Structure 1
Amino acid sequence: MSLTSHQEDCFQSFSNLQLNSAEGIPHMDLLNVKLVCSTLTPHTSVLEWGCGYSTTFFSRYVKKWVCIEHVPEWGQIITEKLKNSTFRDKVSVNVIECNNPNFDNTFPAIFFHDGDYQEFRDYIEFGKSLNEKFDVIIDDGRARVHVALSVLRNKLLKKSGVVILHDWEREHYKPVLDNGFTLVKEDTISGRHLAILKPTKY
């Protein structure tokens, strides 16, 4: 996979941080990160479901980063981590809580059920309220299949835009391929898989 110098900088920066066992880096395998970096340019706009260290790391390599988080405490932690960064103005953190206050957000429960439409309706549909289209959408939070379908329904991608879906090894995410998406690239070598998808039509 060939990378531009900008994308190579993204990848090498992560590699160096991982080599030095740095804290606060994305919970992704090396090849996952290379695939993500391959989608980023200084002009890229990103919408992310599931704020985290991916937010604080990758956002420095793009023009704009909007993330949607369902846990208020975690959203505040990410906001605090960004507070003194030179790229803070590129990032907005939006906390949209679960519609079901009894949702089990613990491990391993979320491996098998990461939420349905009724449980996360407001979170899933928040992208529509932005009235904007994005170059890259990262689907790495709750209700991932429903989020992916909302990307199509609400027309959130720019022409040639892509969706990145993390933990692609989970079989219950694969139905997106029968519902308007096609596979562009995937990492099935790492412990946690990752897929880059595009709509069958924009």
Structure 2
Amino acid sequence: MLEWGSGHSTLWFSQFVNKYYAIEHDRSWHQTISEKLSAEAPNVELTLAAVDKGHMGWNGEEGSREQFQEYINAVDRFGVKKFDRVLVDGRARADCAEHILPYLAPDAVVFIHDFVVRPHYHSVAQKHYKEIARVSDGQTLVVLKPSSPQGEIF
């Protein structure tokens, strides 16, 4: 399993998989959560792809592909060919959901946190995925399956 963004979801979901990869952009949070993960979730490989405030005009909000290119591309460094599950819960979420397409196993699912309350995520989902489930109350989440075979150029 792969996650963009790290935290309590990392601790929770990592207990259900053999290996868990997480990518974090915030230096301070990375330090805090890596200590907790080392003690409680030894199957997690956490990597820092730091993006500091001010980088290419980033003001702390979600961020763009240009501002978060290294963060989005950090999955390329793991050497994992295919992921079964992906949780997109960090920055530049639509761009992460698009970038992961060639890395998805045939039966993979992608979860996007805050999907319902952030309509700008919907275009990438409609373009590349089909929705198979949704949580619309509280912590909103969508569960997606790719609509085209993995590895195909879109």
Give the TM-score of the pair, scaled to structure 1: 0.68
Larger mean CA deviation between 143-152 and 75-84 belongs to: 75-84
From 28, 44, 49, the counterpart of 1:73? 28
Match of 2:44 among 72, 91, 116: 91
Let me know the Cα RMSD of the aligned residues. 1.5
Structure having the larger proportion of residues in strand? 2
Deviation (angstroms), 1:102: 4.5
1:187 is the counterpart of 2:140:
no
Which residue of the partner structure matches residue 158 of structure 1?
105
Aligned equivalents of 1:78, 1:101: Cα separation in 2: 26
Question: Structure 1 residue 101: deviation in Å?
Answer: 6.2
Quote the residue 1:135 is aligned against: 84
Compare 173-182 and 60-69 and name the one that shifted more: 173-182
Large movers: runs of 4+ above 4 Å: none
Residue ranges of structure 1 left out of the alignment (5+ in a row): 1-45
Deviation at 1:193, TM superposition (A): 1.2
Q: More deviation in 179-188 or 142-151? A: 179-188
Uncovered stretches (5+) of structure 2, i.e. residues with no partner: none
Larger radius of gyration: 1
1:122 aligns to 2:122 (yes or no): no
User: What are the Cα deviations for residues 151-174 of structure 1, in whole angstroms up to 9, with x where unaligned?
Assistant: 12xx11111101100001211111
Q: TM-score, normalised by structure 2?
A: 0.88
